Amino acid sequence: MSDATEISEIDVSDPDCLFCRVVSGQVAAEIVAEGEHVIAFRDVNPVAPLHVLVIPREHHPDIGALAAAEPESLVELVRLAGRIAQEQSGGEFRLVANTGAAAGQSVFHAHGHVLGGRAMTWPPG
Catalytic residues: 111
CA distance 82 to 89: 10
User: Is there a contact between 109 and 82 (Cβ–Cβ < 8 Å)?
Assistant: no
Report the chain's C-alpha Rg in angstroms: 15
Quick one: residue 104, left, alpha or beta (phi over 0 = left, psi -120 to 50 = alpha)? left
Sequence-separated (6 or more) residues with CB below 8 Å from residue 49: 89, 116, 117, 118
